[in-house]
Amino acid sequence: MISHKKYMKIAIKLAKKGIGKTSPNPLVGCLIVKRNRIVGKGWHKRYGDLHAEVYALKNAGKRARGATMYVTLEPCSHWGKTPPCTEKIVKAGIREVIIGSRDPNPIVNGYEELKMRGIKTRIGILEEECKKLNEAYMKWIKKKVPFVIVKSAVSLDGKIATKTGDSKYITSMEARSYVHQLRSGVDAVMVGINTVLKDNPQLDVRLARGKNPMKVIVDSKLKLPLRAKVVKKEPDRLIVATTNKASKNKIKKLQQMGAIVLVLKQKKGLVDLKQLMKRLGKLGITSIMIEGGAELNASAIKEGIVDKIVFFISPKMIGNGIGAIGDLGINKVDKSIRLKKVSYREIGKDIVVEGYI
């Protein structure tokens, strides 16, 4: 008996090779199997490049005729930067197509198109795993706003710094390297101005391989120093979110350096985070990792823009220090925010806890 799940797992692994390179397109992996042998492999390598199905068909060549195709996401059936994959699948003589998950993009109709063209087609194999691959893409397509992760590194007693503000380093080198790996997989990293003023971070991926993300600084009064590392290094990858409290002269200087400055409406004197997400979505940013302090983390959660929490917990105790999340207005334990689909794993000497809001 053919194990569809076995082959879809391989297709998922192939899709992951495109992490950090395909946005705002989805991650897609494709496998072509004939007589229980893999004859073709492909994945979407970067935005604007050939789709996974096309790479797999090229790899398989004439062996594709009469074979079964496994693809993590519904094949496209429309003309975009590349021709429709459904046409190439039909032309290659593929006998059966096994699809992991539907594409929420309303112009994609590959499942029905392939069935209409007489190809045996199934959908929903390892669907949850395939959807997780593209959780950012799927939210952006449906709601036109980015998928938002709040990431924090805390001590065993929940502190991100001592009472003096010292935070270097709570977690291990292995955990910090993994954070840089996570950064390379998102479109942007976001912090508040207080984090910039206190830590002067670079927000790059120097401890891992991959691309540097865009840097989003939430700064309602535009206190951002022009000599800060986030400004000096790759200013063309910097987005500053501010309000009409900002100096017009400073806005102009940042723009001349190559930065994007978004002047947004205020909410209780601060940048309106919901409006910021809409503006970032319009810029094609599908995923953001917030690495802010307690105030920004709490504001993001209260505004309902957060989808996922990733906490690195170190086996250290600090005592009277600075917490990871500010006031959420919760007075009773039974009103606390409960994460869903929670997972745990060890990285170095630290534990990573992930869950969805």
Q: Catalytic amino acids?
A: 53
- List beta partners, residue 312: 153, 352
The secondary structure of residue 75, as a DSSP letter, is P
Question: What are 135's two structure tokens?
Answer: 């959780």
Q: Can you say whether the dihedral through the CA atoms of 273, 286, 250, 297 is positive or negative?
A: positive
Q: How far apart are CA 187 and CA 108, in angstroms?
A: 23
Q: How far apart are CA 101 and CA 95, in angstroms?
A: 19
End-to-end alpha carbon distance in the chain: 39
Q: How far apart are CA 140 and CA 207, in angstroms?
A: 28
Report residue 48: phi and psi, to 5°. Answer: 90, -10
**By the 8 A CB rule, do 77 and 108 touch?**
yes
Neighbouring C-beta atoms of residue 210, cutoff 10 Å: 16
